[in-house]
Chains A and B, each alone.
Chain A
Amino acid sequence: MVGLDAAPTSLDPRTASDASSALVTGLVHRGLTSTDAAGEPVPDLALRWESPDPLTWRFHLGEARFQNGEPVRAEDVVATYRSLATPALEARAHEALELVADVAAEDARTVRFTLREPAAAFLYATRLGVLPASCAAGPDCRIGAGPFRLEAAGIDAVRLAASATADPPPALPGILFRISPDSVSRALALARGTIDLVQNAVEPDLLPWLREQGLDVLATPGSTFHYLGLDLRDPVLADPRVRRAIAHAIDREAIVRWVLGGHARPASGLFPPEHWAHTGPDAYGYDPALARRLVAEARIGRPRLTLKTSNVEIRRRIGEVIAAMLGEVGIATEVRPLEWATLYGDVRRGSFDLFALAWVGIEEPDHYHAILHSRMTPPRGSNRGGYADAEVDLLTTKARHITDRDERRALYRRVAEIAHRDLPFVPLWWVDNVVVKNKRLDGFVPSPTGDLRSLAAARWSGGTPGASS
């Protein structure tokens, strides 16, 4: 039994955009590709692929069956990707798929994609779950080729059963996702044994208690990147010395240790060390004296900044700590906790001085283009602070049309250096994936992206799970 903090809004991989939907559909569906721990695309339904030229990609399918017993054929892949052309689906699909000019079956096991322009992120977009052609035409297709099939979806639970067509079949007979929106109540259900697994949905304060209750607490380095966004159009924050002062004023080590229970790593940039695009510069060290000097040099007077953050308890607490640290070096900051849709709306409208948010599941460095290119200010992209640098524009545009890994790494290293120098956002930390699970659930390995796919290989040691419910 897995505890989720919110109900999935869709069980069709084409429209599953929220975290809960992605977790559930990740077990029911398989894409042509998937990604490994380092964020590298690896074969999934496709055994291998080749790209004879930057605009053509050919995928060779392996042996697999859908949950309805039909084999996975090239025409199913074609039907799945063509179905994205309807407006509602197209809108929700990965950006790189909009570059697909044509998709065709060359034979029963070979699919050819033709792109309008080269797209480095294409192999990430092909992680989309493949649906049987017979059902891809409909709006809510729930049959996939994954290890579990969807048995029932209710308002407070989603039930999956091991798929008879999966090879190898999963050891668990099924998975029950229970929707439990309150964090304390989730922890209590774990202690009682009515929930056996919760990932990244327990407050750090409760972890020691859960350990005492005999639960496994596993933490693995994660890639979710927390940062402070800054409004570079604001006269105070436009001064690079003020931004450096902010970066030096925050004691990341202390926040990680005392607020996050040690379950995070101070971040130097967007990508963590295990990612191929991670590059050099060290995180800004905690140096309040230097920060105060920089503030004095900038002669900004007595500005009063507002830090907008989510009203989730731990985010609010972190916001208050950061505001206090900024106050120490002479940058008076007021925290304004907001409900999610309001916060997100404000951030997109540019109505903020500072905001604290995170990037979740970013594996492709093409993301730099969306957040730093001068033309990508909202609503077009996510350059919310209004950052503009001609070299970054050039580099991020060039890198997205190149497929050679080393060449791209070199370009992104330069982007990371400039971002480190200019601080269009202030890196905070990469949070760990924290899994709390029943000790008898064996073989579950947390993934850096936070998906639950290794449940397909997990098993129970002795007894029936969740017997006390």
Chain B
Amino acid sequence: MLRYASLRLALALPTLLGVLVVVVALLHAVPGDPVDVILGERASRADRDALRAELGLDRPAWRQLTDFVAGTLRGDLGRSLTTSRPVSELVLERYPATFELAGAALAIALAIGVPLGVAAAARPGSRVDRLGVLLAALHTALPSFCLGPLLQLAFAVELPLFPVSGRRGLASLVLPATTLGLGMSAVLARQLRSSLLDALALDCVRTARAKGLAPARVFLHHALPNAATATVTVLGLQLGGLLAGAIVTETVFSWPGLGRLLVQAIGARDYPLVQGCVLAVAATYVAVNLLTDLVQAAIDPRLREHV
């Protein structure tokens, strides 16, 4: 297991570097110049050149990137072009907000999705099952830029229970986490339902039933673990996405997370900050994937034999 984990970590490095190179190359390829964004229009040519040199933007793009990678290895992510503050500081101050939101959304998704999925699989075609289908359809039809304001209108303006937006205490977490969690719970419930139905048709489950085990025991001890692997994969992917910054939800709820920082950095062509954010996002994604694999290996003995 340890060997497997370290192998995965070693493989993560080229992944991170690859992501970084692609993103930065794309960003340099599209029109837009950080110096223009900072100085606006009325600056003179000499001033532009002076600022470009000051910010190190007169070096070729590949050089900027290799300097960034070298800096990163030394633990220095550079400074933001727009605010002049260290990139590491800017990224780190956003992480708590992002973790908090992703964690709360995951909790809501599990709390709603698991019972719903289990109930739906236990009685396919029942009302609970149809509720799951409805929730999944709503999730597809109501993206967070739509669901978010609806929740705000209902539970912050008409019924002033929670703050409209911002990050101030536990109450402000409820609406954004629900916006994200509801959508996740729908996907989770549908995935769990279909995996469970597949698992219930497995030979081992039939054997367990034939042995005369109680239906609840068959369900929990034999079907659920078999269904869990696929569900954990889906959950891991979704959580990775959340930790990478739920950009739309963060914007709607003025949530100061990593996603919004990245969007702002791209808008301002703040290359060092974009690089820092991308690195953080990619690292988080890789870490969540690794965690997912380890959890799967813990659930599924077949995977353990392979690693």
Contact = CB atoms under 8 A, between A and B. Distances in A.
Interface of A: 6-7, 9-10, 17, 87-88, 90-92, 94-95, 98, 139-140, 155-157, 178-182, 184-185, 188-189, 191-192, 194, 339-342, 344-346, 348-349, 351, 370, 379-380, 382, 468-469
Q: Which 4 A-B pairs have the closest CB atoms?
A: A345-B31, A341-B32, A91-B47, A345-B32
Contacts of B54: 87-88, 91
Contacts of A92: 38-39, 43, 47, 51
7 contacts: A87-B53, A95-B42, A181-B260, A188-B152, A189-B165, A191-B157, A342-B32
A344 B165 contact: no
Interface of B: 30-33, 36-45, 47-48, 50-51, 53-54, 82-84, 93-94, 148-149, 152-153, 156-157, 160, 163-168, 251-254, 256, 260, 264, 266-269
Contact of A468 (B160, B260, B269): B160
Contacts, number: 128
A345 B82 contact: no
Given A92-B43, A189-B165, A191-B157, 14 more contacts: A88-B51, A91-B51, A185-B152, A185-B252, A188-B153, A339-B267, A340-B267, A341-B36, A341-B267, A342-B31, A342-B32, A345-B33, A345-B36, A380-B45
B160 A192 contact: yes
A423 B184 CA distance: 54
A92 B54 CA distance: 12
A156 B256 contact: yes
Contacts of A95: 42-44
A393 B300 CA distance: 78
B83 A9 contact: yes
A302 to B, nearest CB: 28
Nearest to A185: B165
B93 A185 contact: no
Contacts of B84: 139-140
Nearest to B52: A91
A143 B164 CA distance: 33
B39 A380 contact: no
Nearest to B148: A185
Contacts of A192: 156-157, 160, 163-164
A17 B31 contact: no
Contact of A87 (B50, B83, B149): B50
A258 B296 CA distance: 57
Contacts of A88: 50-51, 54
A344 B168 CA distance: 36
A179 B254 CA distance: 7
Given A17-B39, A91-B48, A344-B37, A156 B166 contact: yes
A78 to B, nearest CB: 22
Contacts of A379: 45, 48
B154 to A, nearest CB: 11
A121 B115 CA distance: 70
Given A184-B252, A348-B36, A91 B167 contact: no
B251 A189 contact: no
Contact of A182 (B53, B252, B266): B252
A178 B255 CA distance: 11
Contacts of B253: 182, 185
Contacts of B254: 156, 178-182, 185
Contacts of A94: 42
A469 B157 contact: no
Contact of B82 (A9, A351, A380): A9
Contacts of B149: 184-185, 188
